[in-house]
């Protein structure tokens, strides 16, 4: 396994375990996170503070049910690492369950940039918009 895959695998392990210190350590200070779509959670977030606030919003809106519950594979190409994921959430009688692709750019052994891709972006947008009152 490559060092870059190790970085991403460690990030997912820390995230799943709720280890905020290890999760933060996986990122460069000026990390850039690209969240697709047209919902309250969409946009570009720069810096650890903004990224952690953003990730916290997934938990808040879903009542703590948001989870990446499966990672099919992780592979790399130079400083880029891709992970095929499955994520889910349930709140207020609504549920979300779909596959996604997470693309990471690694710099000096840490995650410098993240791009997310969802299997059905309009369905994901509708879920988060309804939970945030933006439906």
Structure tokens at 105: 């750019």
What is the torsional sign of CA 25, 29, 34, 35? positive
**Distance set, CA 50 to CA 55, 101, 132 (Å):** 9, 21, 18
- pLDDT at position 56 is 92
CATH number of 3-132: 3.10.450.50
User: How does pLDDT run across 27-72, given as a tens digit for each residue?
Assistant: 999 999 999 999 999 999 999 999 999 999 999 999 999 999 999 9
Give the rounded distance of the alpha carbon of 133 from its chain centre: 22
**Distance set, CA 44 to CA 10, 54, 57 (Å):** 23, 10, 14
- pLDDT at position 133 is 84
The residue length of the chain stands at: 135
User: How does pLDDT run across 59-117, given as a tens digit for each residue?
Assistant: 999 999 999 999 999 999 999 999 999 999 999 999 999 999 999 999 999 999 999 99
């Amino acid at each position: 396994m490559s060092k870059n895959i190790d970085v991403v695998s460690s990030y997912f392990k820390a995230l799943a375990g709720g280890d905020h210190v290890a999760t933060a350590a996986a990122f460069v200070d000026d990390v850039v996170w690209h969240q697709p779509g047209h919902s309250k959670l969409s946009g570009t977030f720069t810096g650890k503070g903004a990224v952690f606030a953003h990730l916290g919003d997934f938990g808040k809106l879903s009542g703590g049910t948001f989870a990446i519950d499966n990672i099919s594979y992780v592979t790399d190409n130079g400083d880029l690492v891709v992970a095929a994921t499955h994520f889910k959430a349930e709140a207020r009688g609504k549920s979300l369950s779909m596959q996604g692709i997470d693309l990471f750019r690694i710099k000096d052994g840490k995650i410098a940039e993240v791009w997310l891709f969802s299997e059905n972006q309009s369905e994901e947008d509708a879920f988060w918009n309804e939970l945030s009152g933006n439906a």
